Chains A and B, each alone.
Chain A
């Protein structure tokens, strides 16, 4: 009965359009009043203690850094770099889009920031080159989702905090899977471009021109080096790296590229603080939620149920992937991480999967859910930019989802794709 109130309440309140974090809070509160298994004071205290986390602060800094970079002219320069290397191939612009998204993903922590930053620049160009509009907007939505897969990633930060796993390890583990998804999307785009005869640009760049474009983008290209190099070199914690990226963003945006005016800076800061708060409001309620789960032994019940369906570990992994995909389609990503991690993590670790690899699988599943109709938020952002109808992008996105799901299967069943870098560098 307790779990019916907890989960039923959460679903009911969120369907009534109560904000997600508050829905979870109300459900927890209702459960407490009904059963008294947790003290309401503990729940109230949890609103402070759950937020009191240094690793969690990385989230606000990465959002702010991404915003500063997006506004500060960095995305434009990254796009130019991708262009001189890939622009002349068949389907050049499509390839450039994916590569630019992968670059930007190494700076930004979120999928929709990546779609907005790269999409606004690429979609008009693709339309000029006669790319099918459904194809180009589906492409930008799906390659934007790499923003959450390649570190830094807000979803990874929240998973690390929730699961008690080193964020540095998860960041490392995310690099190769993110690149794999990117390459899969490039291969698919190439095949489609060949079929539809989307030509690349005629102009080929000489080595000298390439170098000059790289030189112009050097401040942007340095960002991932500072963030990732700093973390793995042991200079920074992830949170410190994020703060360093923010300060770097102030300097580059305001003084070097001069695309952000000093008076605009408070607005950018306010916007990022506001976005982070509306996203992280759920963290405060997670302490009470987690406590009820543990006391009610809900993870054990669900584990027993899943193990009852099959004892084959591959089938269980597939079932968990399907569950995550379905949840990712309907639920806000961070809410899904906070609710599902304590339930699923014990199951997969019992089957021998590393918590780090599971984090990557979760992040990718939820990112795919982010571009799956009818709710995928990236699709809405992409539609707004390109002006195609939601029905049209919903049709065009399907092959992209299949391609990403295929990459996800490889990542699920070949642990080395995720674990190679952490094993190599964190010994």
Chain B
């Protein structure tokens, strides 16, 4: 049981992200193939891949919190002493959490409203509320991840900054280096 939980702690979002991104690329590939080779345009492919993309992004934002990969500007906080810096880090995580909780509540309302209105998607005719649920699901996960991180950071407040700032992965080492000032790219 514990094993399963730690595995989920490391990989939960990726269970969705990898299949989503892989199938998005294949679906768009099929779309091009059908239009140019089979001369038969698909009606659903663009729409479905767009909705998969929305889910991919919101799972990804949550996984970004798990892995500590969000793009932050650290030059200003780096000017302070270690203690202040760690406190500011906690404050910024709490601000992030406030944002996540408000967004979760508000976007849940939006999804419910859309469900009541009975809006459906253009070509696949599924309920639009499924699409709008990506945000509340994503930000619920973000909130959970942030709380996990906050608990970890408070417990490890006296550790060196890097250890304090990055909750380690259980299974594999965190192979992706932490992002510095303005991020991976652009």
* Residues of chain A whose beta carbon lies under 8 Å from any beta carbon of chain B: 13-22, 25-26, 29, 40-41, 43-45, 47-48, 51-54, 56-57, 60-61, 63-64, 110-113, 148, 154-155, 235-236, 239-240, 243-244, 246-247, 250, 266, 269-281, 284, 331-334, 366-367, 370, 374-377, 380
Interface positions, chain B 154-169, Cβ under 8 Å from A, are none
Interface check B29, CB cutoff 8 A: yes
How would you classify the secondary structure of chain A's contact residues: helix, strand, loop or mixed?
helix
Task: Indicate if the CB atoms of B20 and A273 lie closer than 8 Å.
Answer: yes
Interface positions, chain B 65-109, Cβ under 8 Å from A, are 67, 69-77, 88-89, 91-92, 95-96, 98-99, 102-103, 106-107, 109
Of the residues A18, A235, A272, contact of B92 by C-beta under 8 Å: A18
Give the CA-CA distance A272 to B185 in the complex, in Å: 11
| Residues in A neighbouring B28, C-beta threshold 8 A | 57, 61, 239-240, 243-244
Give the CA-CA distance A51 to B131 in the complex, in Å: 11
Task: Please name 28 pairs of A and B residues whose Cβ atoms are closer than 8 Å in the assembled complex, sorted by A.
Answer: A16-B76, A16-B88, A16-B91, A17-B88, A19-B72, A22-B95, A25-B99, A44-B110, A51-B53, A57-B53, A64-B21, A64-B25, A148-B185, A148-B186, A155-B186, A240-B28, A243-B25, A244-B29, A270-B21, A273-B20, A273-B59, A274-B63, A279-B186, A281-B70, A331-B182, A375-B75, A376-B182, A377-B183
| Residues in A neighbouring B74, C-beta threshold 8 A | 17
- The smallest beta-carbon distance between A366 and chain B, in angstroms, is 7
- The smallest beta-carbon distance between A168 and chain B, in angstroms, is 15
Of the residues B18, B24, B134, B184, contact of A48 by C-beta under 8 Å: B134
Of the residues B51, B71, B99, contact of A26 by C-beta under 8 Å: B99
Task: Indicate if the CB atoms of B50 and A22 lie closer than 8 Å.
Answer: no
| Residues in B neighbouring A61, C-beta threshold 8 A | 24-25, 28
Chain B's interface size range is 35 or more
- The smallest beta-carbon distance between B159 and chain A, in angstroms, is 18
Q: Contacts A16-B95, A54-B50, A57-B49 given; indicate if A281 touches B185 (C-beta within 8 A).
A: no
Of the residues A14, A236, A247, contact of B26 by C-beta under 8 Å: A247
Task: Indicate if the CB atoms of A110 and B110 lie closer than 8 Å.
Answer: no
| Residues in B neighbouring A247, C-beta threshold 8 A | 25-26, 29
Q: Contacts A57-B53, A269-B22 given; indicate if A47 touches B183 (C-beta within 8 A).
A: no
Q: Contacts A47-B135, A57-B50, A278-B184 given; indicate if A270 touches B17 (C-beta within 8 A).
A: yes
Task: Indicate if the CB atoms of B73 and A277 lie closer than 8 Å.
Answer: no
Residue of B nearest to A370 (CB): B186
Residue of A nearest to B49 (CB): A57
Which 8 A-B pairs have CB atoms at the shortest separation, nearest pair first? A277-B60, A333-B186, A243-B28, A110-B185, A19-B70, A44-B106, A278-B64, A246-B25
Task: Indicate if the CB atoms of A44 and B71 lie closer than 8 Å.
Answer: no
Give the CA-CA distance A52 to B75 in the complex, in Å: 33
Task: Indicate if the CB atoms of B50 and A53 lie closer than 8 Å.
Answer: yes
Of the residues A41, A271, A380, contact of B110 by C-beta under 8 Å: A41
Give the CA-CA distance A236 to B31 in the complex, in Å: 10
Q: Mark each residue of chain B from 4 to 41: 1 if its CB lies under 8 Å from any CB of chain A, else 0.
A: 00000000001001101110111011011000100000
Give the CA-CA distance A377 to B113 in the complex, in Å: 43
